[in-house]
Amino acid sequence: MTMADGSHVALTAEDAKALWEATEAAQAKSEADFPDEQTALREMSRAHHRLKDFGWRDAIYCPKDGSEFEVIQAGSTGIHRCRYDGAWPKGSWWILADGDLWPSRPILFRLLPEAQAEYDRKMAEAAKRFRDENHR
């Protein structure tokens, strides 16, 4: 097994048995929680919409200027730093991790806090200009 520091140690028979039992229990819970495809799809959709409540947006709308942002990939529980390289729609998403780049197919993205603040500032300025121009 891999330890937190990256070293490896052999699993004991007890560790292996506990790991197997935990895996079987997790599978049984998953089958009980999601007994069919429709239930699983409904829960996936609920989670997708709930993440949007937290400010996540569909990945196709991410910045295409090479700047970094955060992404969520289907099947992953992580939030990863990413960037889009190339001309839309033929470019690629790349996860930045461990000093390397990894190809990605994210489903959701959000701007980094400083980029979101700048976006919000620009939107507020645009809204003010719009109000001012329409109240003359």
Band of pLDDT at residue 136, cut at 50, 70 and 90: confident
Measured CA to CA, the distance from residue 84 to residue 68 in angstroms comes to 8
| pTM, rounded to two decimals | 0.79
What are the extents of the domains in the chain?
1-36, 58-134
What's the confidence (pLDDT) of residue 135?
81
Q: What is the pLDDT of residues 24-73, one digit of tens each?
A: 999 999 999 999 999 999 999 999 999 999 999 999 999 999 999 999 99
Measured CA to CA, the distance from residue 60 to residue 53 in angstroms comes to 18
For the chain, the average pLDDT equals 95
Q: Do residues 97 and 80 touch, judged by C-beta distance below 8 A?
A: yes
